[in-house]
């Protein structure tokens, strides 16, 4: 083709496309513009041979859900289609991954217990989706999200096999964990700031669900702690401590606090005692400061944030919900306990009565009977469909078949965690610690049923698994086992 003719054709095509894009933007529709921009960025990323384009998408989603949370989750890239961030990443990233697999340029599935258990869980869920869709329509697809979000595990696992992509994703997690306390503080002290300055189609880009905020702060502490263990630069201890202290200011931090304790116990079982000592030192120092300031200003100690955190921690074991709470910020966590236990009981009874083996299905209203028993039948603003527990959700929708396989996933995570401590990989330790914080939080909250927690959970779990996927199962770091708290230089120098 004549070079001048080729230039003319490209210029004409570009001009026409620019006019159409301008009209779309003027009508507040950004789908075409983002599609063109994405194609250009994709081609650029492939050309420069840096991180994979799908890794950039995954990093964008991870940072967005950690920092923006509920606000980021509501962003729709199209006015006419529900192209939410998680679905957009899967819509683009999964076909790209399949193409790379076809050309032998990626490896997304490994022969290990975690991959097998997760694939079996997905297959069981997908097998009943067509039947549920016939009965419940779109609601079945929406509830099935808790299963298809697991595709992020395989997407992250594939990206982690590419060195530049793995670095990008770890850097994205680090940046998000450092920035999260700052964003949370702004949202706490100036609630209207993000509504006024950071919105998309009238919705704030940053709007936190408090229990997830607390979970990410707890997970951020473990990740930043492992940055210190990896580099021994004491500066990492500052953002780690800030994450831990900020956790105590969050309204719904009970699940995250329990998760923090349980994951710390895992570290202690591996004889990593310094992390617990650091937590005691950080929290103890903060409590002393608050008590001193309260005494100096004659403020009632029972109305401080420290006492609110204490009451929230105490309410975790208040299963009957009969405890007395005096801090105004504490609310009535005992009532919240009764709320959850009643809902869980109704879901379990319904499932056992109707279909204990394969569950009630996706799309089934797990709240219907609960609303009657809890006298909320007239509550028009009650729209939650998940019973605040991933375990109960899996049992209610997939029965014992799904619950057993979900248990197999958890056991495989335990095996991965044990291997992380044995091998002594700091990146894998930090990633799997974040995954466990989210997993434990999901046992008593809506975390993994939606994208706000599921995308990050499955992504960090996939990254952790791939980090050790090619390490022989019997390979160990003897020094890390026998002397787990030696400084990095001493470990390297040990025989």
pLDDT single digits (tens) 140-195: 999 999 999 999 999 999 999 889 999 999 999 999 999 999 999 998 888 788 88
Q: Name 305's Cβ contacts closer than 8 Å, sequence gap at least 6.
A: 248, 249, 290, 329
- Let me know if residue 31 belongs to a domain: no
Q: Which residues pair with 7 in a beta bridge?
A: none
Q: Is residue 64 part of a domain?
A: yes
Predicted confidence at residue 302, as pLDDT, reads 63
Assign 479 a pLDDT band (cuts: 50, 70, 90).
very low
Q: Are 264 and 275 in contact (CB under 8 A)?
A: yes
Using DSSP's 3-state secondary structure scheme, residue 144 falls into coil
Query: pLDDT grade, residue 27 (50/70/90)?
Result: low
Average pLDDT, integer, range 335-356: 87
Confidence (pTM): 0.86
Q: Is 207 helix (H, G, I), strand (E, B) or coil?
A: strand
Asked if the structure places residue 464 within a domain, the reply is: yes
Most confident of 5-9, 11-15, 51-55, 323-327: 51-55
**Which pLDDT does position 312 carry in this prediction?**
67
| Weakest-pLDDT range from 27-41, 216-230, 247-261, 415-429 | 27-41
Output the pLDDT for position 401.
Answer: 95
Three-state secondary-structure class, residue 200: strand
State yes or no: pLDDT of 261 exceeds 90: yes
Higher pLDDT, 423 or 21: 423
Residue 286 lies in a domain: yes
CA 341 – CA 345 distance, rounded (Å): 6
pLDDT at position 194 is 85
Q: Is residue 47 part of a domain?
A: no
Return the H-helix or E-strand segment holding 203.
strand 203-204
- Tell me the per-residue pLDDT of 278-321, one tens digit each, with 9 for 90 and over: 999 998 898 888 778 777 777 766 666 666 666 666 666 666 66
Number of domains in the chain: 1
Tokens of 241: 């401590």
Cα–Cα dist 47/191, whole Å: 43
Domain enclosing residue 218, as ranges: 52-493
The first and second tokens of residue 383, run together, are 């729209």
| Residue whose C-alpha is closest to residue 115's, from 412, 485, 420, 487 | 412
Q: Is pLDDT at 330 greater than 50 in this prediction?
A: yes
Percent of the chain with pLDDT over 70: 79
In a domain, 197, yes or no: yes
Under 8 Å CB-to-CB from 291, ≥6 apart: which residues? 301, 306
Please say if the pLDDT value at position 415 is more than 60.
yes
Residue 255 has pLDDT above 80, yes or no: yes
The answer to whether 160 touches 166, Cβ cutoff 8 Å, is yes
pLDDT for 475 equals 47
- Please tell me the least confidently modeled range out of 175-184, 261-270, 323-332, 418-427: 323-332
Which residue, 173, 147, 225, is CA-closest to 456? 173
Q: Indicate the range of 255-269, 362-376, 389-403, 419-433 predicted with least confidence.
A: 362-376
Q: Which residues pair with 203 in a beta bridge?
A: 200
Helix or strand holding residue 215 (H, E): helix 210-231
Cα 85 to its chain centre, rounded Å, is 14
CA nearest to 91, candidates 54, 50, 66: 54
Name the more confident of 411 and 197.
411
pLDDT at 277 over 90: yes
List of residues 6+ apart from 306 with CB closer than 8 A: 248, 286, 287, 290, 291
Give the C-alpha separation, 273 to 275, whole Å.
6
Q: What is the pLDDT of residue 384?
A: 63
455: nearest Cα among 57, 30, 46: 57
- Both tokens of 25, joined, read 């933007």
CB 212 within 8 A of CB 73: no
Segment (H or E) for 192: none
Section 128-150 average pLDDT: 92
Inter-residue contact 165 to 173 (CB < 8 Å): no
Quickly state the pLDDT bin for 334 (edges 50, 70, 90).
low
- Which of the pair, 397 or 295, is modelled with greater confidence? 397
| Arithmetic mean of pLDDT, 6-14 | 73
Mean pLDDT (whole number) for 39-67:
85
DSSP 8-state symbol, 162: S
Structure tokens at 136: 């419940």
Nearest partner of 21 among 37, 39, 2, judged by Cα: 37
Indicate whether 37 belongs to any domain.
Answer: no
d(CA 60, CA 253): 26
149 and 458 in contact (C-beta within 8 Å)? yes
Residue 461 placed within a domain: yes
Q: What is the mean pLDDT of the chain?
A: 83
With residue 272 as reference, give the H or E element that holds it: none
In angstroms, rounded to a whole number, what is the distance separating the alpha carbons of residues 440 and 449? Answer: 13
- pLDDT at residue 487 tops 60: no
The pLDDT > 90 percentage for the chain reads 48
Read off the pLDDT band of 32 (50, 70, 90): low
Instruction: Kindly report the length of the chain.
Output: 495
């Amino acid at each position: 083709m004549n070079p001048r003719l080729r230039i003319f054709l490209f210029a004409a095509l570009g001009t026409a496309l620019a006019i159409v894009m301008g009209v779309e933007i003027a009508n507040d529709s950004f789908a075409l513009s983002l599609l063109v921009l994405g194609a250009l960025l994709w081609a650029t990323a492939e050309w420069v041979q840096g991180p994979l384009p799908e890794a950039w998408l995954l990093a964008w989603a991870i940072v967005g859900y950690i920092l923006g949370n509920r606000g980021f989750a509501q962003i729709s890239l199209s006015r006419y289609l529900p192209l939410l961030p998680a679905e957009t990443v899967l819509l683009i990233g999964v076909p790209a991954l399949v193409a790379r697999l076809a050309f032998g340029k990626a490896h997304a599935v490994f022969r290990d217990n975690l991959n097998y258990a997760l694939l079996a869980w997905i297959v069981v869920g997908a097998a009943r989706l067509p039947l549920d869709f016939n009965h419940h329509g779109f609601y079945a697809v929406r509830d099935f999200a808790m299963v298809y979000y697991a595709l992020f595990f395989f997407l992250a696992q594939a990206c982690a096999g590419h060195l530049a992509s793995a670095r990008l994703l770890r850097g994205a997690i680090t940046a998000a964990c450092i920035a999260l306390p700052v964003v949370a503080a702004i949202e706490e002290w100036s609630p209207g700031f993000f509504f006024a300055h950071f919105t998309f189609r009238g919705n704030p880009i940053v709007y936190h669900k408090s229990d997830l905020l607390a979970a990410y702060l707890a997970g951020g502490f473990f990740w930043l702690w492992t940055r210190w263990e990896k580099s021994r630069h004491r500066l990492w201890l500052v953002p780690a401590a800030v994450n831990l202290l900020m956790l105590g200011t969050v309204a719904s931090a009970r699940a995250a606090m329990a998760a923090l304790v349980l994951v710390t116990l895992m570290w202690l079982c591996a004889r990593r005692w310094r992390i617990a000592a650091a937590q005691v030192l950080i929290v103890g120092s903060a409590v002393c400061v608050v008590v001193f300031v309260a005494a100096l200003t004659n403020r009632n100690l029972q109305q401080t944030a420290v006492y609110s955190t204490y009451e929230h921690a105490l309410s975790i074991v208040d299963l009957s919900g009969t405890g007395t709470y005096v801090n105004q910020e504490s609310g009535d966590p005992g009532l919240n306990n009764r709320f959850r236990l009643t809902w869980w009981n109704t879901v379990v009874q319904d499932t056992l009565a109707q279909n204990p083996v394969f569950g009630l299905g996706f799309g089934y209203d797990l709240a219907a009977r609960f609303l009657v028993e809890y006298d909320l039948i007239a509550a028009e603003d009650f729209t939650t469909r998940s019973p605040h527990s991933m375990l109960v959700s899996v049992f209610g929708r997939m029965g014992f078949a799904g619950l057993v396989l979900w248990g197999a996933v958890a056991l495989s995570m335990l095996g991965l965690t044990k291997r992380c401590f044995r091998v002594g990989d700091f990146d894998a330790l930090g990633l799997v610690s974040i995954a466990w914080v989210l997993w434990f939080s999901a046992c008593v909250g809506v975390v993994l049923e939606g994208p706000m927690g599921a995308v990050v959970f499955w992504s960090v779990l996939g990254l952790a698994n791939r980090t050790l996927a090619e390490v022989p199962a019997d390979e160990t770091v003897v020094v890390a086992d026998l002397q787990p708290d030696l400084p990095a230089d001493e470990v390297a120098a040990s025989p």
